[in-house]
Amino acid sequence: MKEMKDVVIIGAGPAGIQAAIHAVRKKCDVLLLGRIERSALYTAHVENYACVAGITSGQELLEAGISQVRNFGATVMDEDVLKIHEEKDGGFSLDLEGGSTVITRTVIFANGTSRKKLKVPGEKEFFGRGVSYCVDCDANFYRNAVVAVVGNASAAIDGALTLTGYASKVYLVSRNLVASPDLLKKLAESTVESVPGTWVSAIQGDGAVQSILLESGNELSLEGVFIELGAKGAMELALEIGIQLDMDTMSHIETNKKAETNVAGVYAAGDITGHPYQMAKAVGEGCVAGMEAANFAKKQRQKEGTV
């Protein structure tokens, strides 16, 4: 069996970084997954955070945080999570974009909640009528259909590969794909038709999606458009293991004051748990999640006799 991590944190924003710091300082084996440039804080300028005078760039804060995480002894990997599964004997396994699988006793979701949109004509009008933001949720509705996935990163590639098991034809529209060599190799060996170096300028149809217009001037006739920008979203990953969402919004993970979800060993912190979307809240929740996940992992180690 592969070596099991104590705590794996998905998301390298302020919540994930703080969770990693607190978990690793409790003598746990911690892995932090994600890219800081995906954090909403990365391009922000901060002037309302306690004990930080003046205006500080989000990029500087995140880079300093990652340095802290590494110095305290945690592992940091610039990889996205493609799938998450519960293990029969306890714990969880996470499939990473680089092709490896990580086994862990606990998971902390700290990867935000914003659903990035194309912001093109037809996107809003055809949402639910051919426009989707979740391959794993809606792939089954497009059996034997012609579809396109739009995106430049791992979520788009993984989504396109998944759709080859449902749709009759799959396009992947991208300006510049950035992903691990392993994932790019899988794409090259698949039946997905890549449409590189361009982007969607409009989604067209009559009552439902019928085509997309590209910036290159070409038009693709199809029945579905999956918008997968960046890494796989927290909602899709959370639903894979039955995590309960906030019933009012269905767009946030529901947690208690210990940052616990309804699934034992799974925690959440930051924007993914709801408003307000502020760094101070994210850091506070990350602190709680990191400590609670570490405590849970230690108890599991005791049960396993691996302390």
* Per-residue tokens: 138: 């809606």
Confidence band (pLDDT; 50, 70, 90) for 103?
very high
Give the closest residue to 242 by CA, choosing from 138, 10, 86, 8.
86
Q: Which is higher by pLDDT, 194 or 139?
A: 194
What is the chain's mean pLDDT, rounded?
Answer: 91
- Provide the residue type at 139 as one letter: A
Q: What is the pTM of this model?
A: 0.77
Give the closest residue to 30 by CA, choosing from 6, 50, 66.
6
Give the closest residue to 42 by CA, choosing from 232, 276, 230, 174.
230
Give the closest residue to 81 by CA, choosing from 42, 38, 41.
38
pLDDT in tens, 188-210: 999 999 999 999 999 999 999 99
Q: Does domain 4-113+233-304 have CATH number 3.50.50.60?
A: yes
Give the distance, in angstroms, between the CA of residue 121 and the centroid of all CA atoms in the same chain.
26
Q: What percent of the chain has pLDDT over 70?
A: 94
User: CATH 3.50.50.60 residue ranges in the chain?
Assistant: 4-113+233-304, 131-227
Per-residue pLDDT, 232: 66
Confidence band (pLDDT; 50, 70, 90) for 305?
confident
Q: Which is higher by pLDDT, 132 or 74?
A: 74
Confidence band (pLDDT; 50, 70, 90) for 250?
low
Task: Respond yes or no on whether the N-terminal peptide bond of residue 196 is cis (omega within 30° of 0).
Answer: no
pLDDT of residue 71 exceeding 90, the answer is: yes
φ, ψ of residue 194 in degrees (nearest 5): -75, 140
Q: How far apart are the first and last CA of the chain?
A: 17
Average pLDDT over residues 215-234: 87
pLDDT of residue 115 exceeding 70, the answer is: no
How many helices (H) and strands (E) in the chain?
Answer: 7, 17
Confidence band (pLDDT; 50, 70, 90) for 178?
confident
pLDDT in tens, 4-41: 999 999 999 999 999 999 999 999 999 999 999 888 88
φ, ψ of residue 80 in degrees (nearest 5): -95, 155
pLDDT of residue 57 exceeding 70, the answer is: yes
Q: Which CATH fold topology does 131-227 show?
A: FAD/NAD(P)-binding domain (3.50.50)
Confidence band (pLDDT; 50, 70, 90) for 72?
very high
Could you give the maximum distance between any two Cα atoms of the chain, in Å?
63
Q: Which is higher by pLDDT, 110 or 233?
A: 110
pLDDT of residue 114 exceeding 60, the answer is: no
pLDDT of residue 269 exceeding 70, the answer is: yes
* Per-residue tokens: 288: 């709680």
pLDDT in tens, 233-249: 677 788 889 998 876 65
Please count the residues of the chain. 307
Per-residue pLDDT, 87: 92
